């Protein structure tokens, strides 16, 4: 293959001395065709020896590319004996910069397993590229600016285990994620927060966790805030459901009415705005014939309004009415 094809321009300072294509791979052998430079920028005065390295490059026309490249160890007047600097390949890397960039572009779009199959690069290598990428793209945490936090737990491994996420309530930046949901599980976050814990004014969380105790132990000025979503969910589970079951049981003789109320669970728990026209009329009908369900449902709706008050005074008044 002649040296001056457009392909040669991919590997600055090197020329193609051999190329070979099979069904699944393009192999290209490269040798230096220009003076070697040290990483300090100095031109090499003397080539110490050469070595061959096998490198993966980005695909060409859908086929993976493997490079066999001859690199030089040089003597630099400043740095001593070193491997020459190559603009498109990092020292000791087995992947070209171009391939690393390509993988970085795919990482937000595809699972690592898929990228591995596509590029022929090992899963662990891609995982490491992803870690480096995330370190670059995720902003540093402004620990001294944190004032309000939100904490929540979520199930992983199909619900058998839990993890906790902690975020900045103002910017929604995720600050910390850890396995488990106990006090000791979340303690490392507060150890990292350190002296800035004093600045924390409020922490929003679910009602049925041990988070509040751990927050109080570290953040002397923080108030615990139970968030709307969790309180409304708890009201639905522990109040609305209880009343609904009681009402259904009182209708033992009237099997049809009993089944009708028993089946209303989701209609009663869901936000009215999220119901379609049929479900809304079903809800209205149930509420109009059953006084207790009507009252419980109304209280649930009013409970949500507490989170939308303009002032503390208004919230206290509304709470008293409730």
Q: Which chain residues interact with Zn ion by CB under 5 A? A: 38, 40, 42, 76, 78-79
CB closer to Zn ion, 29 vs 75: 75
CB closer to Zn ion, 78 vs 137: 78
Tell me how far, at minimum, the Cβ of 93 lies from Zn ion, in Å: 19
CA dist 231 and 238 (Å) reads 10
End-to-end CA distance of the chain: 85
Tell me how far, at minimum, the Cβ of 55 lies from Zn ion, in Å: 23
CB closer to Zn ion, 39 vs 105: 39
Helices 241-250 and 291-305, packing angle to 10 deg: 170
Tell me how far, at minimum, the Cβ of 42 lies from Zn ion, in Å: 5
Tell me how far, at minimum, the Cβ of 78 lies from Zn ion, in Å: 4
Q: What residue spans of the chain are helical by DSSP H?
A: 97-106, 112-119, 123-137, 183-193, 211-218, 228-235, 241-250, 255-262, 265-269, 277-289, 291-305, 312-321
CA trace torsion 302, 304, 310, 316 (10° rounding):
60
CB closer to Zn ion, 38 vs 169: 38
CB closer to Zn ion, 65 vs 76: 76
**286 close to 306: Cβ distance less than 8 angstroms:** no
Tell me how far, at minimum, the Cβ of 82 lies from Zn ion, in Å: 6
Neighbours of 229 (CB within 10 A): 13
């Amino acid at each position: 293959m002649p040296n001056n094809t457009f392909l040669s321009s991919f590997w600055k300072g090197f020329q193609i001395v051999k190329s070979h294509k099979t069904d699944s791979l393009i192999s290209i052998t490269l040798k230096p065709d220009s003076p070697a430079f040290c990483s300090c920028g100095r031109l090499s005065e003397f080539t110490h020896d050469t070595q061959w390295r096998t490198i993966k490059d980005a695909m060409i026309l859908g086929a993976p590319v493997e490079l066999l490249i001859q690199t030089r160890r040089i003597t630099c007047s400043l740095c001593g004996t070193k491997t020459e600097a190559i603009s498109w390949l990092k020292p000791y890397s087995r992947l070209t910069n171009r391939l690393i960039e390509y993988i970085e572009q795919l990482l937000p779009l595809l699972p690592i397993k898929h990228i591995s199959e596509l590029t022929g690069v090992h899963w662990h290598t891609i995982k490491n590229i992803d870690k480096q990428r995330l370190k670059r793209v995720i902003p540093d945490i402004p620990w001294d600016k944190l004032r309000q936090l939100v904490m929540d737990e979520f199930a992983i491994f199909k619900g058998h285990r839990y993890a906790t996420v902690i975020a900045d309530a103002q910017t929604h930046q995720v600050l910390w994620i850890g396995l488990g949901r106990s006090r000791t599980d979340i303690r490392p976050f507060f150890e990292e927060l350190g002296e800035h814990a004093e600045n924390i004014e409020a922490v929003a969380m679910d009602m049925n966790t041990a988070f509040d105790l751990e927050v109080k132990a570290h953040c002397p000025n923080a108030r615990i805030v139970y968030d709307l979503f969790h309180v409304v969910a708890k009201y639905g589970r522990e109040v609305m459901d209880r009343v609904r079951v009681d009402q259904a049981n009182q209708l033992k003789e009237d099997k049809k009415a009993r089944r009708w109320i028993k089946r209303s669970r989701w209609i009663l728990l869901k936000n009215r705005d999220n119901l379609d026209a049929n479900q809304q009329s079903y809800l209205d009908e149930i509420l109009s014939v059953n006084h207790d369900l009507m009252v419980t449902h109304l209280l649930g709706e009013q409970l949500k309004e507490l989170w939308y008050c303009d002032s503390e005074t208004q919230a206290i008044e509304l709470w008293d009415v409730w």
